Amino acid sequence: MTDSQDQASTWGWARTGPVWGAQVFPPRGGQDHLGLGSVSSDRILPKLSPGINVLTIHPRYWSFYAFVLDEFWARELPRTKAAFRDFYRPWEALFAFACQVCEAPEHGTITGNIVGSRRTAGPAVADDEFDPRFDYIKEPLGGYGLYYASVMQEAGLLTRRDPAVGFAFDALTPSGRGLADAYREAVRHTRLYADGLPLGEAPVSRQTLVEFAAAGCLCQLRAEAADLPLLQDMFLHAGDPQAAAQRRATLRFLLDACRTAQAEKMSGNGDLFRQLIYFRVVDGDRYTPLDATAAFARRWRLYQAREYFAFAFNRLWAWLVRRGLDVSDDGLIAVPLDEIWQMINEELDGNEVAIQLGISGSNPNAATLGQELGEWLTQHVDVTPGVDELWPRHDQLDEHALYSWCNNMEDDAETLVAMLALLLLLYYRVGRPGRLADLTADRDILSEGEGQRLGMAGFFGQFHRRLLAGDTVSGLLRWIMADCVIEQHERVATAKLPEDTFRLRRMGEAVRFFAKDAPVAFNDSRFLALSTVAHELDLVSSLARPDRRLTATGRAFVELGDLPAGALERAAAPYQQQEEP
């Protein structure tokens, strides 16, 4: 050993690096540490529900924002962002208060946040007067600027500011003006609008806002509202024709599926919805898609398969990060890869999966063949039904049971086996060569993520070959941890620099761990957005309540797959004539 090697060993550099070493970039919390969530949110969900996302869930905001923009253009004001901000913010501040003081009985069915409610909720409960200049949100243009302007443009309601082509500020199209006019008709008789109170500096009374809410609140998009048929037409037909067809297909599927499990609420994070679309059976209630909804029911099933797939990898990543911190003195020393593989093998040999779950048979261990683990699983979980059939449940071992069992921070031996079992079940359901052949029409969903992320089709192709080659449980987990967890995390964290989101990093044949949180959760399925849109468009009663029922309009839509088009075009007609030379 050289003098320098001896000194490094004495000072601990061989395991820790130089004592004066410091991070180049500031550490950050970060999200989506394997990049799998973005595959669902940015690639798959836009194919299933284009134009309906987690941030734009209330249809009547389209009407309200069109109305405010139209009122702005009706006045002799500078066509600048600053002028619009000063005009717009009092309107949205009072709208936020109005939607929270609303006394209409229908308001109890509203789900999801009102823009600005974080700051306005307290005063809405306590105060009797409301300041139009209240600083309700940090963003200068509030919900319009943050969320809705872009989707309104996609729907053909407005043209965004573009000085190069002569648009000094956002302007409504004829369709947008028609929608604004319909909302104006709803609130025309209210004192808030008739007296122009948002444009003044005097406080507005609670009674005045209650009166406005009775006509203009998000909850008042009902059969008699003039803007309802326009919004129905917009959501079902506006924008890109292919996107509109996909939106219709998803809404039709949702209405078809929500008639199942009537005794249960479909609310919260959409957990019941996830199980229903994946297994097609919940608490004994079975969902059989209509022939007309079968194709999109299958695509949503594959979306949820992708969610289980991503959870398995993210949970293994979190297991490795936290256990790595345990054996590295909270990240002080680098851990040789050989020690990590040894730790995993020791955990596998000591696991008690079968005992803890009350399942017959011996526990799988490190030397168990992957195919043997699969055979043990399929003795209990029936994976023979096809891609369009009902998938029978198992209280301890099906995909949702394994997810629920490991959706915690207990990084034990059983978690390793359970997450490999979850991937095996997905392989049998959708990843075997024969099943992939049955899913040719949906290959786009199965292949999403391949290249820089993890695609299901590509992964299961490798998984299949490894199972045939006789890989053990230990060998499969070592491959997954090395290629799909460590390497994938480094790729994603490197792309996020200069924000430092590393939780682990290879140093030659060792791994350095960093003491930061390691969150794991499903991606947002857009269930809240979809169910809110369907309810507020008067297609179904609230899905957040049991015994939900389709409205007459909803029943017609499910039966026919569409509603009559043209309401938005008719509303736009007077303004199109004004624009003709």
Q: Render pLDDT for 338-364 as a digit per residue (tens, 0 to 9).
A: 999 999 999 999 999 999 998 887 889
CA torsion sign, 237 to 241 to 247 to 251? positive
Nearest alpha-carbon partner for 70 in 169, 147, 1, 210? 169
- pLDDT at position 29, please? 59
- How far apart CA 199 and CA 212 sit, in angstroms, is 15
pLDDT of residue 4: 44
Residue 262: its pLDDT value, please? 78
* Residues in contact with 579: Cβ distance below 8 Å, sequence separation at least 6, in sequence order: 174
**CA-only gyration radius of the chain, Å:** 28
Could you tell me the pLDDT band of residue 198, with boundaries at 50, 70 and 90? confident
Q: What is the 3-state secondary structure (H, E, C) of 488-512?
A: HHHHHHHHCCCCECCCEEEECCEEE
Instruction: Report CA-CA distances (Å) from 59 to 51, 233, 250, 273, 558.
Output: 11, 12, 16, 21, 20
Torsion, Cα 295 298 302 305, to 10 degrees, reads 170
pLDDT on residue 1: 43
Secondary element (H or E) of residue 344: helix 337-349
pTM: 0.91
Please give the Cα distance from 518 to 34 (Å, whole number).
11
User: What band does 30 get if pLDDT is binned at 50, 70 and 90?
Assistant: low
In tens, the pLDDT along 110-120 reads: 888 899 999 99
- Does residue 6 have a pLDDT over 80? no
Q: Averaged over 509-514, what is the pLDDT? A: 96
| CA 296 to chain CA mean position, Å | 18
Residue 514, φ and ψ in degrees, nearest 5: -125, 135
CB 348 within 8 A of CB 473: yes
Tell me: cis bond preceding 498? Omega within 30 of 0 counts: yes
Q: So what's the pLDDT on residue 15?
A: 52
Q: How confident is the model at residue 487 (pLDDT cuts 50, 70, 90)?
A: very high
Measure the CA–CA gap between 87 and 82, rounded to whole angstroms: 9
- DSSP class of residue 130 equals E
Backbone angle region of 166, left / alpha / beta, with phi > 0 → left and psi within -120 to 50 → alpha: left
Reply yes or no on whether the pLDDT at 579 is more than 70: no
Comparison of pLDDT for 176 and 18, the residue scoring more: 176
Report the DSSP beta bridge partners of residue 176: none
User: Which whole-number Å values give the CA distances from 143 to 35, 57, 95, in the listed order?
Assistant: 27, 12, 11
Q: What are the φ and ψ backbone dihedral angles of 506, each rounded to 5 degrees?
A: -75, 140
CA distances from 390 to 65, 295, 297, 516 (A): 43, 14, 12, 41
| Residue entry with tokens 């794991």 | 520
What the block records as the tokens of 545 is 């309540």
End-to-end CA distance of the chain: 90
Choose among 488, 509, 374: nearest CA to 431. 374
The secondary structure of 367-408, three-state, reads CCEHHHHHHHHHCCCCCCCCCCCCCCCCCCCCHHHHHHHHCC
Residue predicted with more confidence, 413 or 28: 413
Residue 527 has pLDDT above 50, yes or no: yes
Q: What is the pLDDT of residue 581?
A: 45
578 band by pLDDT with thresholds 50, 70 and 90: low
Is the pLDDT assigned to residue 565 strictly greater than 70? Answer: yes
Please give the angle made by the CA atoms of 178, 184 and 190, to the nearest 5 degrees. Answer: 175
CA 148 to chain centre: 17
Tell which residue, 136, 133, 106, 110, has the closest CA to residue 124: 136
CB 260 within 8 A of CB 286: yes
Q: Is 173 helix (H, G, I), strand (E, B) or coil?
A: coil
Element (H, E) at 69: helix 60-73
Q: How confident is the model at residue 452 (pLDDT cuts 50, 70, 90)?
A: confident
Q: What is the mean pLDDT of the chain?
A: 91
Instruction: Output DSSP code: residue 77.
Output: -
Confidence of residue 237 (pLDDT cuts 50, 70, 90): very high
- The Cα 33–Cα 43 span in angstroms is 17
3-state secondary structure of 544: coil
* pLDDT for 20 beyond 80: no
Q: At a CB cut-off of 8 Å and minimum separation 6, what does 394 contact?
A: 380, 381, 382, 401
**Residue (of 411, 494, 491, 496) closest to 454 by Cα position:** 491
Residue 8 has pLDDT above 90, yes or no: no
DSSP of 149-200: HHHHHHTTSEE--BGGGTBSS-EE-HHHHHHHHHHHHHHTTSHHHHTTGGGS
What pLDDT, on a 0 to 100 scale, did the predictor assign at position 223? 77
The three-state secondary structure class of 88 is helix
Residue 472 has phi, psi (to 5 degrees) of -85, 170
